[in-house]
A and B are shown apart, each in its own frame.
Chain A
Amino acid sequence: AQTVTQSQPEMSVQEAETVTLSCTYDTSENNYYLFWYKQPPSRQMILVIRQEAYKQQNATENRFSVNFQKAAKSFSLKISDSQLGDTAMYFCAFSSNFGNEKLTFGTGTRLTIIP
């Protein structure tokens, strides 16, 4: 079974700084998908970024980018020029290429942006 580990339960950073959230995962599969979801205090689950494992290129979405290291099974999220609206819980998630499209989630990192 796949597992996803987020080792930083909480982080804080000054507004406008850059912050990196860590995520590691375990799988025996070669093709799969990785995601970062943001959960603000409103508790909605909002997709931040998606990475396909068979693509070497790291995904980027505006101020958000990932460092995908397939051999190390690492998938970190970098937030540049952090804004107050980035304050949220961030979840890393894994999805297999086969069968049930279940998302396997990490336990989350609570990120606080300090004014």
Chain B
Amino acid sequence: EAQVTQNPRYLITVTGKKLTVTCSQNMNHEYMSWYRQDPGLGLRQIYYSMNVEVTDKGDVPEGYKVSRKEKRNFPLILESPSPNQTSLYFCASSLSRGTGQPQHFGDGTRLSIL
């Protein structure tokens, strides 16, 4: 089954404790991206990757890191989480650049930073 898998689904942690949210897709997609969803703001892009070893900032990259060492994986790293990073996070992937192919989303990760 074609899917984007995120883990964990839920996480409650404390300020400053490094955490990683994993994302993996099995569709051989080149493009992967992270979004955060906040009430009244919709979804906003954090980082994206056009291919292996190619990553770039989205609209709200502060406090986050990513890496793309393999085509299928695109982890989101919060080196020193703060309460303003409490949010619902989505990983997404799509086939190719500039053709408007629909993005496939993971099921979301609810992060609470205390």
Contact = CB atoms under 8 A, between A and B. Distances in A.
Contact of A102 (B45, B88, B101): B45
A64 interface: no
A4 to B, nearest CB: 8
B43 A101 contact: no
Contacts of B58: 100, 102
B39 to A, nearest CB: 9
A80 to B, nearest CB: 22
Interface in B51-71: 56, 58-59
Given A105-B43, A107-B41, A108-B42, A100 B48 contact: yes
B95 to A, nearest CB: 10
Contacts of A50: 100, 102
B93 to A, nearest CB: 10
The interface size bin for chain B is 20 to 34
B42 A33 contact: no
B86 to A, nearest CB: 15
Contacts of B45: 100, 102-103
A57 to B, nearest CB: 15
B100 A98 contact: no
A102 B42 contact: no
Nearest to B43: A105
Contacts of B88: 43
The 9 lowest CB-CB distance pairs between A and B, nearest first, are: A33-B100, A105-B42, A45-B105, A105-B43, A107-B42, A47-B102, A102-B45, A43-B108, A101-B31
23 contacts: A42-B107, A43-B107, A43-B108, A44-B105, A44-B107, A44-B108, A45-B90, A45-B105, A52-B100, A96-B98, A99-B97, A100-B45, A100-B48, A100-B58, A101-B31, A101-B33, A101-B48, A101-B101, A102-B59, A103-B43, A103-B92, A107-B41, A107-B42
